[in-house]
Structure 1
Amino acid sequence: MRRLFGLTLSAGLLLLSGLACGAPDSSESTEADTTETIPFTTEGRLAFIQDGDSTVTIDLEIADTDSARERGMMQRTGFPNDRSGMLFPFDKERPQSFWMSNTPVALDIVFVDADSQIVNIAKYTTPFSNERYESDAPARFVVEVPAGFADSQGLLEGDRIRWRRLE
């Protein structure tokens, strides 16, 4: 009987200590954080070229699959810094159209043709907007950068890009 009492007492103490450690404090929120953060992955580098000289180089995440292109910057709060961007390479040069639905951050969207020349820039796009931002001419590449980047770097139609994937 003594042994049974000892085992019962030990089990009870273990149960109580487990409840004390595992139970949330009533002052703490028990709501789970369901926000999924999509990390920025540096996969390449891109240089903007004006008059044959590189003016600025940025880190790139490359959206080269259908799902990555569809997601883009949706559900992200921004880039790691003002020298980061996202490149969308397409198989064919054709008119491109982007929108900002589910994108919480303003962007500059740079449309680039197959010869790596900027055809137009949609500046300061509106977050969460259903407005379509379109290339003025067929484009093979699209670069998204933080809003204001094009103005701060003096990017213009006719400037070029040069990019490479990191090993």
Structure 2
Amino acid sequence: MKHAHWLLLVCLFVLCLGCQRERIRSSQPPLSRSIPFREDGQLAFVRDGDTLVTIAIEIAETDSARQRGLMDRTHLPERSGMLFIFEREEMQGFWMANTPLSLDIIFVNGDSQIVSIAKYTRPYSTETISSQYPARFVVEVPAGFTDTYGILEGDRIRWRRHARPLTAARP
């Protein structure tokens, strides 16, 4: 009788362990192919007129591009990020749903001054990451970027879009 009791306990333990593994596996998002980075321009982080670092940027300025952001990106080239441009300066909220990369999120006001920084955001989180002050621009860079380059609240950004090639007029 004792052996049957132990056997039953072992079977229950193995069953629970299998259920736990399946729950963990099903809660993790599927791996997908990374979306390639599209360089739309350059952005410099500036303090007292001196450039701290310059990065390549992909620009998100439409509603759909801002909503998509860096979702499903598994890689960003070194010294690159995404610049979000909003029509108005207001409180901004971001989340990391479907974003496998940890990021630093930099909130910038209409005068191009950094007003708050959210560092080392948690991948796949649905928690809202809010600016502490109204922002018109948001820059997302790989986690640790702001520590590596000493980017601080009060610093400024300067950015420019690459010139787009002119298309020939059709006759």
TM-score relative to the length of structure 1: 0.77
Q: Residue 152 of structure 1 corresponds to which residue in structure 2?
A: 148
Distance in structure 1 (CA, Å) of the matches to 2:66 and 2:33: 18
Q: Which of structures 1 and 2 has the bigger CA Rg?
A: 1
State the percentage of identical aligned residues: 64
Q: How far has the Cα of 1:78 moved from its partner?
A: 2.2
Aligned residues of 1:107 and 1:124 also touching (Cα < 8 A): yes
Distance in structure 2 (CA, Å) of the matches to 1:136 and 1:44: 27
Q: Residue 164 of structure 1 corresponds to which residue in structure 2?
A: 160
2:74 to 47, 58, 77: 77
Q: How far has the Cα of 1:36 moved from its partner?
A: 4.6
Matched, 1:131 2:95: no
Unaligned runs of 5+ in 1: 1-33
Q: Which structure 2 residues correspond to residues 1-167 of structure 1 after superposition, within 5 A?
A: 35-81=32-78, 83-167=79-163
TM-score relative to the length of structure 2: 0.76
Unaligned runs of 5+ in 2: 1-30, 164-171
Distance in structure 1 (CA, Å) of the matches to 2:143 and 2:32: 24
Distance in structure 2 (CA, Å) of the matches to 1:127 and 1:38: 16
Aligned residues of 1:48 and 1:162 also touching (Cα < 8 A): yes
Query: For residues 129-153 of structure 1, what are the alpha-carbon distances to aligned partners after superposition, in whole Å with 9 as ceiling and x for unaligned?
Result: 1111111110000000000000001
Structure 1 residue ranges, 4+ long, deviating more than 2 angstroms after superposition: 34-37
Residues 37 and 78 (structure 1), Cα distance of their counterparts in 2 relative to 1, 3 Å cut: closer
Q: How far has the Cα of 1:87 moved from its partner?
A: 0.2
Aligned residues of 1:78 and 1:146 also touching (Cα < 8 A): no
Matching residue's letter, 1:43: D
Distance in structure 1 (CA, Å) of the matches to 2:95 and 2:160: 26
Q: Residue 10 of structure 1 corresponds to which residue in structure 2?
A: none
